Amino acid sequence: MEMTRFTPSRFMIIALLLLPLYAAGQSDAPEEPEIVLPTALLRVDGIPFERVEAVLPGAAQLVLPELVIPLPSVQEMEVQPRLLLPDITDDLDPVETSVFSTGSITAGSRNLIEGQLGVFKLGQDPRFRLTFSHQGVDGYGGKSPGTGFFRSEQRLDGWLGSTAGPVQFETGAGFTEWQEGLQQTSDSYYSTILRFLSGHGEVELRPDELIGVYGSLHAGSASRRLSVSETEEVPESDDEDYLQAGARVAVELPAFTLSLGAEYGLQALGAGGMDSIDILHDGAITVSFDAQPSSRVDLYGNAGALWLVGDRFEYPFTLGVNYRSSDWVEFQGSFGRRAQRTLLHDLWRDIPLLRLPAGRSPDPAMEWFAGGRMQADFVEQNLRLQGGVDYIIEFQDRVLPGAYLFDVVPDGDDPDAFPQIGFSWDTYDGVELQTHLQLQYQLSGFARLQAGYRGALPLFSTRGNPVVPQHLGQLGITLGSENGMYGGGADLEAPVYSVASLPYLDLHSYVQVTDGIVLRAAIRDLLAPLIDGDRYQFDVSSDNGTPGFSPFIEPGIRFTLSAEITL
C-alpha cells in the first residue's frame, strides 16, 4: 500500500486550520483577555523618497501601561519584524515601574526564519527600550538555497528617555545590516550588502509656562557594497553621511503659539572609486504659528527661507486649517511649497541597487501642493471613514529610478575596473494626484472589515515612479472568538502599476495558549502559484508576466508558524 507523504506545505496548511480548533477545545481557559485589532490596514506608501522618521512616544507619554497583547495582521508582520509593544496611556501613575520583555520566533518554507527580542522599562526614569530582530528567506520562487535568491536583515535599536525638572529629553540609535542576493543577474557579483547607522536626540526645556525651547539632532550613515565570490578584490563601497540639527523657541499661549526655528543640514556622498567626496550644506530659518480662534477651528502655518549653500535660495511655506464640524467629523486642508532633502539612507531602503553616479548629487526636491483630509466616526453604525486628496501642482528635481544596467564596463583604460550594475536615476519635474480612502466597519464585537484605496496618478505626461503603484486596492477581515482565545483573518492587496497584476492574498490565524503566549500560523502570497512563472518586483511589462522594471523576483508563497511571548 502506498503511504501518503506529509510535505512541509501540507503540514503548514493543516496547522493553519487546526489552531482555532485547538483553542476551541480549551475548557480551562484563563480569564478573558482584550482583543486589540489593528486600527489600519493600509501600509504607508507616502510621497516617494521623503525622509521617514520613526514615530516614538514622547518622554512624558511613556508611562506604565496595562499590558495588552496586540494581534497584528500578517501584512503588518510582512513589512518588517515587529515586537509586541504595549498600549501607552496617559492616565496611569508614572511613579510605578515595570520592566518586561517580549520575544517571538517564526519558521517557515523558503528557509524562512525570523526572530525578535525586546526589553522595556516604563514608569520611573529613566525609561528605555532595547530591541533586536533577524529576518531571513533563502530560495525565492522555489530556487535552490545558496544560489543568490535570498534576503537577510538584522536590526538593533535602542531608546532612552527621562525628565529632570523643566527638562525632558530622549535619545535613540539604531543599526541595520541588510543583504540581498542578486539572483544570478550578474556574472561579476553575488549579492549587495547595505548597512545603516542612525542616531537622534531630542530635548525640551520649559524655563516658563509660556515659553518652550526645543532642540534636535539627527545623524547617520549609509553604505552599500557588492560581494564578489571569485576574487579576493571587492569594489569600493558607496557611502553617505548626513547630519540634521535644529533649534526652536516658542511662545505658547492658551489659544495661540508663535515660534522661531533654525535648521542646518549636511550630506556627504562618496561613490566607489571617487577621488573626492561631494559635500552638500543647507540652512533654514522658519517662523510658524498655530491659532485656535474657536473650539472647532485650528489655523496653522509656517514660512521661511532655505539656503542651498553654493546654489540658490528657496522659500517654502504652508497654510492650513483644521475644522471639526462635530465631535465625530473633522476636515483638514493645506496649501504651500515644501522642500524634501534626497537621502540615500531613504532611497536605498526602497531600491537597494540604485546607483550613485560619480560627480553628480541629487538636489532637494521642491513641491507646490494643495490637499485635504477628512475623517468621520459613525459610532452608532460602528463605522470609520478616512480619505484625502493631495494635488502636487508641480514637483521639481524628484529622483526617480530608471533602467537596470547589467555588468556595464566603465569607460577608461583601466582593464581591472569593476563592472557597474544597478538602476540608473535621473531627476524629473511634473504633476501628480495622490488620493487615499479607508473604511473600517465593526461587523460585530469580534469581527472587523477594512477596505482601502490609494492612488498616485501622474498627470500631463508626467513620468510616474515605477516602484509606487498607480492604484492600490486593499481588503481585509479579522475575526476573533467570543472569549478572545483564538481567531484569524485574510488580507487582499491588488496593486496596479502600468498594468494590473495578480493580487496578493495572505491568510493568518492565532491562538492564545495562556496569558502572554500566542501561537500563529500563516500563508503569505497564497495566489503566487497561479502565475505562469515567477512574480517580479514592482511592475510587469505586459499581461504575460515578464519583468517591466525590475529583473528581480519575489519570494512567492510561504507557510509560517510562530510563537510570541510577553514576560
What string of pLDDT tens digits covers the 567 residues of the chain? 334 444 444 444 444 444 544 444 443 444 433 333 333 322 233 323 233 333 333 333 333 333 333 333 333 333 333 334 443 333 334 446 689 899 999 999 999 999 999 999 988 889 999 999 999 999 998 899 999 999 999 999 999 999 988 999 999 999 999 999 999 998 888 999 999 999 999 999 999 989 999 999 999 999 999 988 666 677 888 899 999 999 999 999 999 999 999 999 999 888 765 555 788 899 999 999 999 999 999 999 999 999 998 888 999 999 999 999 888 899 999 999 999 888 888 888 888 988 875 556 667 889 999 999 999 999 888 899 999 999 999 988 888 888 888 887 766 556 667 788 888 888 889 999 999 999 999 887 789 999 999 999 999 878 888 888 999 999 999 999 888 899 999 999 999 988 888 899 999 999 999 989 999 999 999 999 998 888 888 866 555 555 668 899 999 999 999 999 998
* DSSP secondary structure letter of residue 443: E
Q: Which amino acid is at 316?
A: P
Instruction: Give the alpha-carbon dihedral of 246, 247, 253, 254, to 10 degrees.
Output: 40
| Cα–Cα dist 559/9, whole Å | 7
Of residues 199, 191, 192, 180, the one with CA closest to residue 135: 180
Q: Indicate the fold that domain 163-508+524-553 takes in CATH.
A: Maltoporin; Chain A (2.40.170)
Q: What pLDDT does 411 receive? A: 64
Among candidate residues 517, 516, 523, the one with its CA nearest the CA of residue 561? 523
Instruction: Tell me the β-bridge partners of 291.
Output: 256, 299
- What's the per-residue H, E or C state across 412-427? CCCCCCCCEEEEEEEE
CA separation for the pair 405, 422 (Å, rounded): 5
CA distances from 217 to 202, 264, 270 (A): 7, 10, 23
What gap in Å lies between CA 422 and CA 356, rounded to an integer? 9
How far apart CA 46 and CA 50 sit, in angstroms, is 8
Q: What is the amino acid identity at position 464?
A: G
pTM for the complete prediction?
0.80
Cα separation, 399 vs 355, whole angstroms: 12
Cβ neighbors of 267 (< 8 A, separation 6 or more) are 240, 241, 242, 279, 280, 341, 343, 361
- Reduced to 3 states, what is the DSSP secondary structure of residue 52? coil
CA atoms of 557 and 181, how far apart (whole Å): 18
Distances (CA, A) of 114 to 154, 333, 390, 505: 10, 42, 37, 20
User: What is the grid cell recorded at 162?
Assistant: 527621562
Whole-angstrom distance, CA of residue 15 vs CA of residue 68: 25
Decide if 558 contacts 137 (C-beta within 8 A): yes
Is the CB of residue 350 less than 8 Å from the CB of residue 343? no
Cα 20–25–29 angle (5° rounding)?
95
Residues 6+ apart with CB under 8 A from 28: none
Residue type, 428: Y
C-alpha cell belonging to residue 215:
532642540
Task: Give the chain's radius of gyration (CA, Å).
Answer: 25
Instruction: Give yes or no for a contact between 157 and 176, defined as CB atoms under 8 angstroms apart.
Output: no
348 vs 128: CA distance, rounded Å: 29
Closest CA to 111 of 154, 155, 153, 150: 150
Q: 24: which strand partners?
A: none
Give the pLDDT confidence score for residue 389 in this predicted structure: 97
How far apart CA 88 and CA 70 sit, in angstroms, is 12
Residue type, 210: L
Other CB atoms within 10 Å distance of the CB of residue 530 = 9
Nearest to 562 by CA among 91, 83, 104, 228: 104
